[in-house]
Structure 1
């Protein structure tokens, strides 16, 4: 199975490489590109250089260089959904893309991947779509978790759910720390989803419909504080 990770910077790209490149039967490649046409080329190059020199350990800098020379790391100075970047993706004939860049995908890029683009969403679909879904789950007294699914052009409405897993965040005292923990599991969830797809590309898939569940929006600071107090560790620290 040919997999391309769609990344915005070196740090995310190298982290995913460490977690995924040894999976059986996976041909893994990384694409780093601009998220938006609005960012100038010089600004993007400067951002990459700062990330490469300032946020990578020397061994990771060497690894990035080796991956680039081996054509396992491709850097596009165009936006992800520019035709030049899409042409490179099509040339690779990938089966699966991994979402690790801040864009909303259009059909033109979704169609480049035979199976689609996987996204680990930090909410349990279809019940929790949209923004601040971990906080809304806490506020409603529902389990928190991650759903890895194939993206479509909507907001968390992709029909094919590959993996749906509850993740406990009760040990955290702050909302930001709990969310960061869930985001840190992206590589783990990608690996699990790819393993599910290996025996059969339809194995383990369940489906959601657009009318299923709800779409949530960014939670207000007032409600966020209430959600924080729903964390058992937070409540314990405030009463001790």
Structure 2
């Protein structure tokens, strides 16, 4: 595991590694963008559209709603009308259309980043991945390689794997990239599914911030290739969802957290310390 230091101050771009934050505009992407900015870590913000453009629709019309959302998000009046937190990004971003578009690749080629911070937006193709000289960072909301794909929280319980999150490099496969760090999600016996999901999101953000901060401070992020192969998780049938949700209500997720789980040769750390380390950032209303 890479050692941790203190939170870095603003560093000259000429000496620090360069980062591109690639996001489709989700709340976690906004949270990470805000925390990195307040931590003095410089990055370029690139906004992309998650859904592919529908056949027969013009590109501008297809992306217009997303453009409006991302550029008008900071208006105070809009926030008041919706009566919810809807923060703008702390830095000016560039909208580059859909994921893997030629426009996106050309812009990334001009930026030539050391790292791409992936915070939602779809599956990257190999050409886009190669734009980052040191790699594309991603956090998967489950323990790899045992639980990959979608709906991983419920699938973890179904497969009797502790809930957790994995920081890894992205490769052309689906959640098959080299693993940098893995953390178990601390779950209490009385926590319900909604609370667990929110805590899982916080852990994923904390892991990403920690990895970026380490790279920013000069540590080399090294990943261990995944040697085990497990089936890809797909959408779970409704009956199974209800059954697993009931198991979680009865404390199954908490039991898995405290159970002795030894997966592979790499250590799986407890996420409690990491959540506490970044609690002030994650709890700050300006970061959500």
Task: Tell me if 1:108 matches 2:127.
Answer: yes
- SS of the residue corresponding to residue 21 of structure 1 reads helix
Aligned to 1:181: 199
Q: Kindly indicate whether structure 1 or structure 2 has the higher relative contact order, using CA contacts under 8 Å at least 6 residues apart.
A: 2
CA drift at 1:37? 4.5
Q: What's the Cα RMSD here?
A: 2.8
Task: Report the Cα distance in structure 2 between the residues aligned to 1:12 and 1:124, rounded to whole angstroms.
Answer: 19
Task: Tell me if 1:130 matches 2:149.
Answer: yes
8 Å CA contact 2:164–2:184 kept in 1: the answer is yes
**CA offsets per residue over residues 91-125 of structure 1, 9 Å max, x none?**
11111112223311101100100122111111101
Aligned to 2:265: none
Aligned residues: 222
Aligned to 2:242: 225
Q: Normalising by structure 1, what TM-score?
A: 0.79
8 Å CA contact 1:139–1:226 kept in 2: the answer is no
Q: Normalising by structure 2, what TM-score?
A: 0.67
Return the match for 1:29 from 44, 58, 61.
44
Against the structure 1 CA distance between its residues 47 and 190, is the aligned structure 2 distance closer, same or farther, given a 3 Å change threshold? same
Against the structure 1 CA distance between its residues 109 and 133, is the aligned structure 2 distance closer, same or farther, given a 3 Å change threshold? same
Aligned to 1:38: 53
Return the match for 1:96 from 84, 107, 115.
115
**CA offsets per residue over residues 55-111 of structure 1, 9 Å max, x none?**
5463999964x732xxxx2222x3231222211111111111122233111011001
Aligned to 2:94: 74
- SS of the residue corresponding to residue 173 of structure 2 reads coil
Against the structure 1 CA distance between its residues 23 and 51, is the aligned structure 2 distance closer, same or farther, given a 3 Å change threshold? closer
Return the match for 1:155 from 156, 159, 174.
174
